[in-house]
Structure 1
Amino acid sequence: MKIKNILPILLFLTSFSFYAQNEKTNEKLEKIKAYKVSFLTADLELTSAEAEKFWPIYNTYDDKQYKLRHEKMKTYLRKLNDDNINSISEKEAAILLSQIENTNRELYLLKKNYISSLQKILPAKKILKLKKSENDFNRKLLKQYRDKAGKN
């Protein structure tokens, strides 16, 4: 996956993590999740049999990758702010780098297992369409966010 595709998504999602305790943010995240389900359902044109098997796999994957990205990466990002990064030792930096690599490895294995599970229930073309649909959704969501931010 290209960094230019990942970076906007990470920036968008981490912006939500800073306010995770706020009920309004939780409501917004639920609305976004519902919007995403609606968007993907319409875009993928899943049969009822496919949808019945797809959504539990997708939701499990989505929850696990969210936790990995937001719980672990949030910890790393806190340690990487300008004040901390200049004051940590080389050994601490190496440990942090190793932790980031391990999380990236976990994300890779999670994605690999997810795709393997999807291949058992969906044709390859629909899996590729899912990837494209997720990217389209993220772009659309970021555009809405930017448009709304520009109006305020």
Structure 2
Amino acid sequence: MIRMKRCKLIWMVLAFLSMAGLPAGDLLAQDAQQEDAAAKQDKIKSLEILYISKELDLTPEEAQKFWPVYNKYSKEVNQLITERRKKAKELKNVPRTDAVAEEAMDKELGYERKMLDIRTRYKQEFMKVLPARKVSNLYRAEREFRGMMIRQLKERKDNRMMRRHK
């Protein structure tokens, strides 16, 4: 029964993502593209909330306590990811010497250390508002959702490539 609900939810999320994909035409202005990107991010965030809510099966009391903590956690994680991408972009055009490569590895390890610190700190915060099994399910649900998103994006990219080569 639970497996059937999960499959149904996954198909619902995938169907919604397929419908939400608004192709940006070449003639769209940059503002329109940014608005489109923001709208897509909002839809993805909504889907993530829906998916996590279903997977954790939160009571109303748990949800009231959980979501503010999760929003803070999510904000910190996203800031760290943004910082990482920015630094990676800066290093992209720098010639790859051994010193640059070593610096890049150190920065990547520092990023992973910071991410682990955030997750460890928030594990304690989540444990204050949810039972351990639901906190464990949270991390699993996040991984599953990211995996679904990556697969969906890859499928779209592959489909666009196939249409171009026809």
Cα distance in 1 between the residues matched to 2:105 and 2:158: 36
Counterpart among 82, 94, 98 of residue 84 in structure 1: 94
Aligned length: 129
Checking the alignment, whether the CA contact within 8 Å between 1:76 and 1:100 is kept in structure 2 is no
Change (3 A) 1:98 1:57: same
Cα distance in 2 between the residues matched to 1:96 and 1:139: 26
Within a 5 Å distance, the mapping from 1:1-152 to structure 2 comes to 22-70=34-82, 72-81=83-92, 83-86=93-96, 90=99, 95-152=103-160
| Percent sequence identity over aligned pairs | 25
Tell me, which stretches of 5 or more residues in structure 1 are unaligned?
A: 1-18
Checking the alignment, whether the CA contact within 8 Å between 1:40 and 1:130 is kept in structure 2 is yes
Change (3 A) 1:129 1:99: same
Cα distance in 2 between the residues matched to 1:133 and 1:100: 25
Name the TM-score, length of structure 1 as normaliser.
Answer: 0.73
Alpha-carbon offset, residue 134 of structure 1: 1.3
Tell me, which stretches of 5 or more residues in structure 2 are unaligned?
A: 1-29, 161-166
Alpha-carbon offset, residue 132 of structure 1: 1.5
Q: What is the CA RMSD across the aligned residues, in angstroms?
A: 2.3
Change (3 A) 1:146 1:89: closer
Structure with the bigger RCO (C-alpha within 8 Å, sep 6+) is: 1
